[in-house]
Amino acid sequence: MGTLFEVLTEHFDELGPGFWVTVRLVGASFAIALVVGTLVAALRIAPSKWLQRLGGMYVETFRNIPLLVLLFISYAGLRRAGVPINNWVAGIGSLGLYTAAYVAEVLRSGVFAVSKGQVEAGLSLGFSHPDVLRRIVLPQAFRTVIAPLGSITIAMIKNSAIVGVSLLTLPDLLKEARIVQARTFQTTETFFWAAVGYLLLTAGATIAFRLLERRFAIRR
Amino acid sequence: MGYLFDPANWEWLFTGNNARFILEGLLVNIQIALIAMAFSLAAGLGLALARLSRMRWLVFVTGLWIDLWRNLPLIFVILYLALALPEPWRDAYEDAAPDLLPDVLQTGRVFAALLALTLYNSAVLAEIMRAGIQSLDRGQHDAAAALGLSYWQRMRLVILPQGLRRMVPATVSQLITLHKDTTLVSIIAIQEVMRHGRIVTGFNFFGGVQAPVLQVFIFIGLLFIITNLGLSRLSRRLEIREQQRSGTTVKPISGLEDQVATAQTR
């Protein structure tokens, strides 16, 4: 037990910043996922067949491709092609765009839960289609899908660990744990603290979304 | 865009055995996914039944177990097991692995990968199965008990056939996730599609043809999209056939990636 805490105190200046990198990575990717996911969901319910198909293609592409492949394409691939992309942009972009596909799917299901009468009422009051979406449909859709959005966020926190161990060399929590492990060979102790870090994040997200749900959710 | 579609940058695909080499890598991924899925389904069913049992302590312990493995990043588990599993275990796996497996899958490292994939996916599947079983009307259970069936008979003849049918869509979407997740085992140096892709881009200059990273991994991505779309098409077909056969619409338990909609049952 003694060594367990020694590992934490001795290597806190590596594991601590690693945890912070993971937090920033997750936060920025979540913002991108929400924005892009909302746009894609809007495409999928747009009044034009072509826009719907475009949104569908986005979802099918990003949902069926492994995140690791996406990271290879966006970092190693684009760099070799001469695009000067840095590891943060590639990491946040990949994780965000990947998660956006799931957000779009969930939001779409939330949109279908809003009754059609409301859309027709909005349109007949003279709102334009985007206005109906923005002011009437989406606010309600978001409030019905808080629980699944929480699960997506938890999955994203876990997926963020892939970013650090791929080619990107972002010094996130898992990467730092690996560096400490390689130097000290205290595998179980080091990984124990990394696990604590990830479980803190997923537990925090679970609690945050449960509070949001209690405050805002529409029960149907 | 010009760079992306420049035929010179796609020449590698038709040169030597590059395409075949990458497809062979993908086959390893598919095999790992199928083996891990078989183990996960069995272990997941056990966990789900344990979590629904009447013994309080068993429910508590399996609940902790499931939540632990479900909430840790899979790549974390893979790395940890690859580093921490005792040597004799790996040797035991190498001895025990049946010869009909391809050579890649007989190395000791694969044991860590399969164990990690099974620990994670069995926890996720257990929650899907639990949701499926709990979504059944309680009357089913009571009626079966009233007919004098024992616990195992009730499960085998009444509860599981209905409950498991509802979880087919969620299970297939988990299989898709698992198929994607098999790329993670490249981190512990198992020779699968990602490694093969890197080999093709790394030192492959057959006849002066260079394989650019971007195009190689776009090709690999396309392979995953094709196989996964095939899987989801298959699941839809199964669902429709099931509906036609039984004449009822089955209310599916929805599952998104590894998020199980347990909220519905709680």
Residue predicted with more confidence, B261 or B127:
B127
Q: B222: exposed, middle or buried (C-beta count within 10 Å: 0-12, 13-18, 19+)? A: middle
Q: How far is CA B233 from CA A62, A65, A101, B238, in A?
A: 17, 16, 18, 9
Q: How far apart are CA A81 and CA B212, in angstroms?
A: 8
Of A60, A81, A161, the CB nearest to B212: A81
| pLDDT at residue A54 greater than cutoff 60 | yes
Average of per-residue pLDDT values in chain B: 83
pLDDT at position B205 over 70: no
Contact in structure between A75 and A87 (CB atoms under 8 Å): yes
In this complex, which of A68, A102, A203 lies closest to B184 when CB atoms are compared?
Answer: A68
Pick left, alpha or beta for residue A108 (phi over 0 → left; psi -120 to 50 → alpha; otherwise beta).
alpha
Give CA–CA dist B51/B53, Å, rounded.
6
A102 touches chain B (CB under 8 A): yes
Q: Domain range holding A73? A: 2-215
Tell me which chain A residues have a C-beta less than 8 angstroms from the C-beta of B261: 147-148, 151
Domain count, chain A: 1
Whether A157 maps to a domain, the answer reads yes
Contact A181, B83 (CB under 8 A): yes
Q: Which of B72, B187, B214 shows the shortest C-beta gap to A73? A: B214
Question: Which backbone phi and psi does A169 adopt, to 5 degrees?
Answer: 50, 45
Nearest chain A residue to B263, by CA: A147
What kind and span of H or E run contains B118?
Answer: helix B108-134
Provide the β-strand partners of residue B260.
Answer: B255
SS3 state at B52: coil
Q: Which residues contact B246 (CB under 8 A, 6 or more apart)?
A: none
Contacts with B257 from chain A: Cβ below 8 Å: 102, 152, 155
Tell me the pLDDT tens digit for each residue of A64-114.
999 999 999 988 888 888 888 888 999 999 999 999 999 999 998 888 888
Which CATH number belongs to the domain containing residue A28 in this structure? 1.10.3720.10
Residue A174 lies in a domain: yes
pLDDT digits (tens, 9 = 90+) for A16-32: 889 999 999 999 999 99
- For chain A, the DSSP string reads -HHHHHHHHHTHHHHHHHHHHHHHHHHHHHHHHHHHHHHHHHHHTSSSHHHHHHHHHHHHHHHHS-HHHHHIIIIIIHHHTT----HHHHHHHHHHHHHHHHHHHHHHHHHHHS-HHHHHHHHHTT--HHHHIIIIIHHHHHHHSHHHHHHHHHHHHHHHHHHHHSTT----HHHHHHHHHHHH--HHHHHHHHHHHHHHHHHHHHHHHHHHHHHHPPP-
B30 at interface of A, judged by CB pairs closer than 8 A: no
Q: What is the pLDDT of residue B198?
A: 85
pLDDT the model gives residue A102: 93
Whether A220 maps to a domain, the answer reads no
Q: Hey, is the C-beta of A61 within 8 angstroms of any chain B C-beta? A: yes
A110 domain-assigned: yes
Task: Determine the pLDDT at residue B266.
Answer: 29
**Within a domain: A78:** yes
Nearest CA in chain A to B256: A102
- For residue A153, what are the contacts with CB-CB under 8 A and spacing of at least 6? A30, A205, A209
Beta-carbon separation of B213 and A187 below 8 A? no
Is A182 within a domain? yes
Chain A CB contacts of B218 under 8 Å are: 73, 77
A52 within some domain: yes
Q: Say yes or no: A162 contacts chain B, CB-CB below 8 A.
A: yes
pLDDT band at A36 (very low <50, low <70, confident <90, very high): very high
CB A197 within 8 A of CB A173: yes
Nearest to A20 by CA among A159, A190, A197, A183: A197
Our CA-based measurement puts residue A134 at a distance from the nearest CA of chain B, in whole angstroms, of 25
Q: What is the pLDDT of residue B265?
A: 30
Residue A170 lies in a domain: yes
